[in-house]
Amino acid sequence: MKSSLAHLIPAASLGHAISISLPPLIPSIPGVTEPLNDLAPPLPILQVPTPPLDSPPFEASDIKPKKIGYFWTGAGDKKHKECAPPDFLATYSLDDDTFGTLLWVTDVPTSGNDPHHLGPSLDGKTLIGGGLLSLLKTQDTAFYFDTSNPYRPKFLKSNRALLSSITDEIRAKPDGGFFITYMGSAVGTSPGRLVETDAEFNVIHEWPEDVEGTLNILGQQFNPHGLSIDWERGNILTSDFVEPISILKPSLGIKKANTLRLWDLKTKKILNTITIPNGGGIQDVKHIPGNPEGAAIATAVQTGQVWIIYPQRKDANGKPGVAELLYDLGPKARDTTAIYSDLTQDGRFLYLTLTTANHIAALDISDLGNVKRLDDPDEDQPTIGPHYVKVTPDQKHLLVTDYFVQTGSIGLINTPADFKALYIDILDDGSLAFNRSIDFSRDFANRGGGKPHSSVVFDLTDPEHPLYY
């Protein structure tokens, strides 16, 4: 009864943290759990909620590089589909002289989460990673890591929200805690939620909580994936991608969204729903650093286009938030399953991963009226399945992970990947020079390979001014 009532009471009225956390429903029993996994009958979507296998050994390093890459990674073990080795955070050196040296592996208590996005707190003491498919084993969906010692991250805790699941984009709050887009409901349907945690990383809100906002997200598909916050101007942008459950079988087809929501940061109320015609999944949205109007870019996956969002301009109905086409990435960018982006901190260069086109596009957007393409769209780049892209804190490199989503026999999305992390040089004119990579299939062969979805970079070159991206 308590669980049912919790779903009906607005989070704001609870007056305390509303996150919940449960251990695997089947405890780990040596000699019992392992054969149980082999004997359990196949399930259409849900998976047997067993704990992970024992963690394989790894060789740690005691070096202390200035630049550190953290990769939120799933085990590639296919034999133990239900009960695989644990998902993990891999810590690597990104320094020139020790690049690709594995520093540490931090396991979480569960497997099969399909690790998704990763984000740092502003003080660099905590990372949070989300699980795309955690709900299929009734597991926690958000995983927190203590990075007080950046070379030896520790698993801190995990939790889940009550009304939502499918943890996606993450933004740190200035006073501690995070805003997080949860793309689906508690069972993976629409609507999802914009989730807020406190400084102890307990879920305290699942926005919207007002009647008008709730009617908005019930009336139109609300599956927030992209998330960007303009703290100075006081607005939030979320972009709706796909309904998560629709990517799993049985399905009548993937339900793609064409909308973004503009929110008031102070009240967390939705100010406007912005539509991109035939967008077919608006996967990502990011404010352009330094733009005088506080504009943001948004990626429309089906059309292969980049749109610009002006939060302060009024639309035909007098509401704030206007979308205009900024750049068409061409025929090879059409319906590439995913288009994710990042920008340099001067707001000049924009980089976009075209996942199933095996391509990374580079644009000079310093003049929004005359966008210049810096890459050759017909170039054969050394990447298979690029997705998550991060400009490094020194603005000299792109860190790209070559893995998006593989749902296997239960789903409709299985994008090719080579499971590498690419470290790509950014040249003075913003163009790219492919340089080095980390091979997770090789480094984690004893886990059946590694599937790195996302990354965070710490740059400790200046101890007085460390940077956490």
Q: Running along the chain, 469 residues long, what does each successive block of 10 average in pLDDT?
A: 35 50 55 46 59 88 98 79 82 98 97 95 98 91 98 97 95 96 94 97 96 95 98 98 94 96 98 97 98 98 98 97 98 98 98 98 98 97 98 98 93 96 98 98 94 98 96
Q: How far apart are CA 144 and CA 129, in angstroms?
A: 7
What is the reported pLDDT for 222? 98
What is the reported pLDDT for 53? 82
Q: Which residues pair with 297 in a beta bridge?
A: 286, 308
Q: How far apart are CA 163 and CA 167, in angstroms?
A: 12
CB atoms within 10 A of CB 87: 27
Q: How far apart are CA 118 and CA 131, in angstroms?
A: 10
C-alpha 214: how far from its chain's center? 24
- What three-state secondary structure class fits 137? helix
57 with 421: CB under 8 angstroms?
no
460: Cβ contacts below 8 Å, ≥ 6 apart: 66, 67, 68, 150, 466
- What three-state secondary structure class fits 226? strand
Say if residue 281 is exposed, middle or buried (CB neighbours under 10 Å; 0-12, 13-18, 19+): buried
Residue type, 188: G
CATH code given to domain 2-38+45-51+65-468? 2.130.10.10
Q: What is the largest CA-CA distance in the chain?
A: 66
Say if residue 366 is exposed, middle or buried (CB neighbours under 10 Å; 0-12, 13-18, 19+): middle
Q: How far apart are CA 215 and CA 222, in angstroms?
A: 11
CB atoms within 10 A of CB 1: 5
Nearest partner of 107 among 151, 57, 62, 149, judged by Cα = 57
Start-to-end CA distance of the chain, whole Å, equals 42
Nearest partner of 70 among 453, 448, 442, 462, judged by Cα = 453
Q: How far is CA 70 from CA 111, 124, 249, in A?
A: 18, 12, 32
289 with 346: CB under 8 angstroms?
yes
Residue given tokens 């009240």 in the structure block:
267
Q: Which residues pair with 170 in a beta bridge?
A: 180
Tokens of 389: 């892209």
Residue given tokens 């945690």 in the structure block:
197
Q: Which residues pair with 20 in a beta bridge?
A: 160
CB atoms within 10 A of CB 330: 15
Tokens of 364: 């000079």
Ranges of each domain in the chain: 2-38+45-51+65-468
Phi/psi at 457 (nearest 5 deg)?
-120, 130
Q: How far apart are CA 230 and CA 90, in angstroms?
A: 31
What is the reported pLDDT for 457? 98
- What three-state secondary structure class fits 118? strand
Q: How far apart are CA 286 and CA 307, in angstroms?
A: 11
Q: Which residues pair with 468 in a beta bridge?
A: 458
What is the reported pLDDT for 282? 98
Report pTM: 0.91
